[in-house]
């Protein structure tokens, strides 16, 4: 891959490029850094002007205050559990569905494709009301189920996987596998899944993050601060008179850390997808 590198690494392009990257680092990274700073500022000094730029030392006090205000470990567990389950189920069902659309020809395929796309176009805003009605009817109110089951095979996931799989799985390989006697499910398991690591990683990241950050559905479906997810529990502290603002910021920061960890983990998968791809051909 030397020539690929050379094309970008030409000196004249290098410096402005790194400069631009650096600018973006600052622009994209600053609010996050600021969040970290605020997490270390004592609650009573939170709103000073000019705003803080360097960290202070109250992180652990803030965390303690937070633990008094909300049952952080429980909320964290709820958020994590729901997000993890969502991610696993979504990856499974959407890869399956995406494979169907990417590598098979069948009657009604175009219609399904169109249908999937159109379900994404439906503005989701008002759905919460009939959806809530249904969840009460099924007696799923107060459980994790509304946050996991309905989204398991969602249009976004399927279409995402379709796009990735179209490019990354050669038809020749599939034909060879069939000749060798592999069943369709076998192909799904031994070829489709392994070769789609990049797509799966992206889907996994997106799903985990969206599930974790979901506010309204969690708010409506999970009663009591003791049983709800982290974003909802933290919201209790917004603009509270006596609530510790430092705690809120510390909580917000801690709530984001798992997302970064998940991202880094899945990121490696995206790269290893590259390795798998380059072996063939």
Residues 7-46 that bind other proteins (CB under 8 A): 7-10, 13, 17, 21, 24-25, 27-32, 34-35, 38, 43-44
Place of tokens 């069902």: 93
Burial of residue 170 (number of CB atoms within 10 Å: 0-12, 13-18, 19+):
middle
Instruction: Give the nearest distance from C-beta 63 to other proteins in angstroms.
Output: 16
- Choose, by CB under 8 A, the member of 60, 178, 190, 265 that binds other proteins: 178
Question: For other proteins, what does the binding mask look like between residues 52 and 71, x meaning CB under 8 A?
Answer: --------------------
Instruction: Give the nearest distance from C-beta 172 to other proteins in angstroms.
Output: 12
CA distance 57 to 159: 47
Cα-based distances in Å from 194 to 21, 169, 252: 32, 10, 35
Q: Binding of other proteins at residue 83 (CB under 8 A)?
A: no
* Angle at CA of residue 101, ends 200 and 127, nearest 5°: 75
Nearer to other proteins, 99 or 144 (CB): 99
Range 185-190 contact pairs with CB under 8 angstroms and sequence separation of 24 or more: 188/95, 188/96, 188/99
CA distance 79 to 81: 6
Nearer to other proteins, 143 or 213 (CB): 213
Rounded to 10 degrees, the C-alpha dihedral 95/97/98/103 comes to: 120
Which residues 211-270 are close enough to bind other proteins by CB under 8 A? 213, 215-216, 219-220, 223-226, 231-232, 234-243, 245, 248, 252, 255-256, 259-260, 263-264, 267, 270
Nearer to other proteins, 64 or 89 (CB): 89
Nearer to other proteins, 60 or 109 (CB): 109
Region near other proteins per CB under 8 A, out of 59-67, 78-86, 209-217 = 209-217
Nearer to other proteins, 124 or 194 (CB): 124
List helix spans (H) across 139-190.
145-148, 155-168, 171-179, 184-187
Nearer to other proteins, 16 or 73 (CB): 16
Say how many residues touch other proteins, by CB under 8 A.
Answer: 125
- What tokens were used for 153? 């095979």
Nearer to other proteins, 17 or 176 (CB): 17
Nearer to other proteins, 81 or 269 (CB): 269
CA distance 186 to 133: 40
- What tokens were used for 69? 């205000």
Which residues 96-135 are close enough to bind other proteins by CB under 8 A? 96-97, 99-101, 104, 106, 109, 111-112, 116-134
Q: Give the H/E segment covering residue 199.
A: helix 197-213
Q: Among 211, 177, 212, which Cα is nearest to 194's?
A: 177
């Amino acid at each position: 891959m030397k020539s690929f590198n050379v094309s970008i690494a030409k000196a004249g392009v290098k410096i402005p490029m790194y400069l631009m990257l650096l600018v973006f680092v600052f622009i994209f990274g600053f609010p996050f850094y600021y969040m970290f700073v605020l997490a270390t500022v004592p609650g009573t000094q939170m709103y000073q002007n000019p705003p803080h730029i360097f960290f202070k030392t109250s992180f652990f006090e803030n965390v303690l205050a937070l633990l008094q205000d909300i049952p952080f470990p429980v909320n964290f567990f709820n958020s994590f559990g729901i997000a993890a389950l969502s991610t696993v189920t979504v990856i499974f069902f959407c890869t399956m569905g995406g494979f169907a659309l990417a590598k098979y020809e069948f009657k009604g395929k175009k219609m399904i494709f169109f249908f999937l796309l159109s379900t994404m176009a439906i503005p989701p805003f008002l759905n919460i009301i009939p959806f809530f009605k249904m969840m009460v009817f099924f007696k799923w109110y107060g459980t994790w189920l509304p946050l996991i089951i309905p989204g398991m095979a969602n249009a976004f996931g399927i279409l995402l996987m379709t796009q990735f799989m179209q490019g990354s799985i050669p038809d020749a390989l599939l034909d060879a596998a069939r000749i060798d006697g592999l069943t369709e499910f076998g192909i799904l398991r031994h070829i489709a899944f392994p070769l789609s690591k990049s797509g799966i990683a992206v889907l996994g990241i997106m799903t985990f993050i969206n599930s974790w950050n979901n506010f309204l559905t969690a708010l409506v479906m999970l009663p009591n601060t003791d049983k709800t997810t982290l974003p909802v529990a933290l919201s209790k502290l917004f603009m509270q008179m006596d609530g510790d603002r430092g705690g809120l910021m510390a909580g917000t920061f801690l709530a984001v850390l798992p997302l970064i960890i998940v991202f880094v983990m899945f990121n490696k998968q995206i790269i290893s997808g590259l390795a798998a791809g380059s072996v063939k051909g």
